Chain A
Amino acid sequence: MSSSNRAYAAALLRPLLIALALAPAPIDSTPVRAADAGTSAAVQAASLASDLVAALDRVFQGPHPGERAIHTKGIVLRGTFTADPDAMSLSSAEHLRADGPPAPVLVRFSDFSGVPSQSDGKPGANPAGMAIKFQLPGGVDTDIVAHSYNGFPVATPEDFLGYLNAVATSDAQVRDAFFASHPAAKQFIDAPKPTPVSYGTETFYGVDALRFVNAAAVSRFGRYRIEPIAGNQFLSATAGADIKPDYLRDEMRRRLAAGPVRFRLLAQLAAPDDEVTDATKPWPDNRPVVTLGTLSLTEIADDASPEVKTLFFSPMNLVPGIDPSADPLLAARTRTYTISYRRRLAGE
């Protein structure tokens, strides 16, 4: 693949990375037999996850030994999350209790592509990723996986594979046919993706709906939105093209020296008729928003520490009070991330 094709591929893949980070799954309280070994569904699901990772490798010339298949270049920060009193009206989750202590968090910001040497100002860097791990008592943790684009280019794992193949192919007819039949993917590709002034100056979105359940067992579907308290700030196209390859890490170091980097964690709530299983369809801006709390990030974590080297995020790593929706991307994303994670730990 030529460098221009790689840049194009990287731009196309940006939304995929984001979507992989944030999909929920169906809820069914009735005990059922979920799957029989050897059934076509279970085997096909396993094969699809492997195919997705292989497709990512084709797009990004991987695998790159010891690296993530996508959102490869990143920076991990430490901090705390303090719940807002309104959060308990939506969910009984432990970290959303305002009467408890702040929860320690690890937050990983990342460029989009699966290229370890991705330059922060070049195509492939955006949309950026933001993954949050809340560290709860008893060794329990729960995650949020988000990116800086409000939506996902495709709605299903099968279409995600089609998307990756369309990005990787040298056959323009195949590529054009895919985007002609998948308008959300086309919209994603065409959307402006400016370089942020800082990872701390752009909004991140959880693209998959989750079901939040409060102590009274009242449930609402919602999607995460993570807003920078410093406000959204982006570089001009000219300034973005001129920044150094590791600009965002250097900028974050300088920003933290002046004080914590803070975000407001929100949940946008679905109206009764809003689509909760299709990540390509953002909800209208007039939907109610609940403030869940504030993230305060204070230091950059050591990339060489075991805790950071073994860091793994899943949009399905949930705790009581937050359930998945029936978004079909959720399980596929989790398995895809798992394959990448195990390969990374093995140095492959």
Chain B
Amino acid sequence: MRRTLIGCGIVAFFATLGSLGFALGSGVAINISQKGRAFLPGAIEIAKGDTLAIHNDDEYIHQVFVDNPSFKFDSGEQDIGQTVDITFPASGTFQVLCAIHPKMRLDVVVK
């Protein structure tokens, strides 16, 4: 399974969260954190079939969504402590956003 992470601090991030990783479906689960009204990391490259496990480590509720012509997703309310799983059905470039906090953005490249 090929998986490349983009951005400084990714190694440290996964060293911290690696113990939280888990497999979902046929791909690999990749942990993303929400903290301080931001996605951490803010950009990532994954393989088709991998799952983003987006964990709300914040003190605010969030609402994760994707609005791409080939893929639409809306988590609804994501409470503090909740995890939202997103498996992208196709290769391409996607933006994962928060409906409540417009400045939150996670760029995802699915190879």
Contact of A42 among B52, B74, B100, B102 (CB under 8 A): B74
For A48, the closest partner residue in chain B by CB is: B74
| Distance of A219 from chain B, by nearest CB (Å) | 15
> Contact string, A6-50, partner B, CB cutoff 8 A, digits 1/0?
000000000000000000011111111111111001110111011
Report A-chain residues with C-beta under 8 Å of the C-beta of B87: 36-38
Interface contact A335-B65, CB-CB below 8 Å: yes
Interface contact B72-A50, CB-CB below 8 Å: yes
Let me know if B107 is at the binding interface, CB within 8 A: no
Interface contact B74-A46, CB-CB below 8 Å: yes
Q: Are A29 and B76 CB-contacts (below 8 A) given A314-B99, A338-B65?
A: no
Interface residues on B, range: 20 to 34
For A143, the closest partner residue in chain B by CB is: B100
Q: Are A31 and B81 CB-contacts (below 8 A) given A37-B73, A317-B101?
A: yes
Report B-chain residues with C-beta under 8 Å of the C-beta of A342: 67, 102
Let me know if A334 is at the binding interface, CB within 8 A: yes
Interface residues on A, range: 35 or more
Complex Cα distance A27/B77, Å? 9
> Contact string, B55-67, partner A, CB cutoff 8 A, digits 1/0?
0000111010111
Complex Cα distance A31/B81, Å? 5
Let me know if B4 is at the binding interface, CB within 8 A: no
Interface contact B72-A37, CB-CB below 8 Å: no
Complex Cα distance A341/B98, Å? 12
Q: Are A338 and B60 CB-contacts (below 8 A) given A28-B82, A46-B65?
A: no
Give the most central of B52, B81, B100: most A CB within 10 Å.
B100
The contact sample of 22 A-B pairs, CB cut-off 8 A, is: A25-B76, A31-B82, A33-B82, A33-B84, A36-B85, A36-B87, A37-B52, A46-B65, A46-B72, A47-B72, A49-B74, A312-B102, A316-B63, A317-B101, A318-B60, A330-B77, A331-B63, A331-B99, A335-B74, A335-B99, A338-B97, A338-B102
A residues at B contact (CB < 8 Å)? 25-38, 41-43, 45-47, 49-50, 140, 310, 312, 314, 316-320, 323-324, 330-331, 334-335, 337-339, 341-342
